[in-house]
Amino acid sequence: MSTQALERGLDCLMALANSDGPLSVGEIATATSIPASTVYRLLRPLEKRGLAERTEQGKRLLGLQVLVLCRSARNVHRLQVAEIALPVMQELARLTQETVVLTVVKEFEAMCIEVVPSTQLIRLTPEKGRPQPIWAGCSSKILLAYMPRDFQEEVLNLADGCRYFDGTTFAREAVRRQLDQVRQDGFCITIEEVDAEAAGVAAPILGKWNRLEAGLSVLGTKYRFQEDQLPRIVELVVSSARAISEKVTLVGA
């Protein structure tokens, strides 16, 4: 197989992966700018190897063999965790009326992989896939608190001297103590560290052997996170994170 044929075959596979449903040969041709006759020839080896399947209507979709290729891939694992977490996140959003976010560690940053937006008129809605500093904000700090000490120290060194949104300076020793306290408490509360008038509560999602899988956060305006409301929010976030942790551990995701 030539390099061009391989590239085109992968383009067809990616078109199927990026589609919300089965695609006809013509639709794949349009998505990839490859002639339909060529698409038809490229699909045959993909179907033979189970990477693509043909529906009764003659359209194509990803085959189950794709799962074999990426069974151990980290992103697939995260997608499994997000899928498990979503129903619990939706219920948590309903109970709190605030935005619920699922974050994971990406190198030396935090990244949102799932979000259930609040129905409130004024709300915080992080963008899925967008990285953010792992040292600021509850949805990030909850991850940092449960990472190994050597990773924490690297982040603390990198962030030393940086400033939070409210103008206060990142202080390595103070943050180190805060991370220890977060692990002791099992949750994290922050106010206006990333955005103006923003507040949040986060708890860890832990899998087998208490391995950190993700962080679960409820985000909103600081005016809705007053002292009389915080205990209920904390309880809901912690119990929801525990419920997701139990499901993740049970299925071995």
pLDDT in tens, 126-164: 888 888 999 999 999 999 999 999 999 999 988 888 888
The yes-or-no verdict on residue 88 having pLDDT over 90 is: yes
* Coil/strand/helix, residue 198: strand
Average pLDDT of span 54-76? 73
The answer to whether residue 231 scores a pLDDT higher than 60 is yes
3-state secondary structure of 134: coil
Domain finish residue from 48, 69, 90: 69
Query: Are 91 and 213 part of one and the same domain?
Result: yes
Determine the Cα–Cα distance for residues 148 and 170; give it in Å rounded to an integer.
20
Backbone angles phi, psi at 216, to 5 degrees: -110, 125
Q: How far is it, in rounded angstroms, from Cα 210 to Cα 193?
A: 28
The alpha-carbon radius of gyration of the chain (Å, integer) is 22
- Are residue 176 and residue 131 in the same domain, yes or no? yes
Backbone angles phi, psi at 217, to 5 degrees: -130, 150
CATH of the domain at 242: 3.30.450.40
For 64-81, what is the mean pLDDT? 68
Please give the biggest Cα pair distance in the chain: 67
Compute the distance between CA of residue 220 and CA of residue 125 in angstroms, rounded to an integer: 9
Verify that 144 and 127 share a domain, yes or no.
Answer: yes
Q: Mean pLDDT over residues 11-25, rounded?
A: 90
Statement to judge: residues 113 and 12 lie in one domain: no
Same domain flag for 243 and 203: yes
Residues paired with residue 111 on neighbouring β-strands, in sequence order: 104, 131
Res. 68 pLDDT band, cuts 50 70 90: low
Given a cut of 60, is residue 14 above it in pLDDT? yes
* Cα–Cα nearest to 171, from 184, 181, 157, 182: 157
Q: What is the pLDDT of residues 152-199, one digit of tens each?
A: 999 998 888 888 877 778 888 889 999 999 999 999 999 988 888 899
Number of C-beta neighbours around residue 152 at 10 A: 19
User: What is the residue-averaged pLDDT of the chain?
Assistant: 89
Answer yes or no: do 49 and 129 share one domain. Answer: no
User: For the whole model, what pTM was predicted?
Assistant: 0.70
Query: Which DSSP letter does residue 158 get?
Result: H
| Helix axes 74-96 and 230-251, enclosed angle (nearest 10) | 150
Share of the chain above pLDDT 70, in %: 95
Query: 151 burial class (0-12, 13-18, 19+ CB within 10 angstroms)?
Result: middle
- 85 lies in the same domain as 194: yes
Query: Does 80 score more than 70 pLDDT?
Result: yes
pLDDT for the residue 162:
83
For residue 169, the model assigns a pLDDT of 83
User: In this structure, is the dihedral angle defined by the CA atoms of residues 79, 92, 105 and 224, taken in order, positive or negative?
Assistant: positive
State whether 52 and 106 are in the same domain: no
Tell me the angle at which helices 138-145 and 172-185 cross, rounded to the nearest 10 degrees. 80
Question: Are 168 and 150 in a shared domain?
Answer: yes
φ, ψ of residue 75 in degrees (nearest 5):
-65, -35
Count how many residues are written for the chain.
253
- Residue at a domain's end among 69, 87, 112: 69
Q: How far is CA 96 from CA 31, 149, 232, 233, 237, in A?
A: 41, 33, 9, 7, 9
In the chain, how many H helices and how many E strands?
Answer: 9, 8
Q: What is the Cα–Cα distance from 74 to 96, expressed in whole angstroms? A: 31
**Between 19 and 89, whose confidence is greater?**
89
- pLDDT at residue number 252: 66
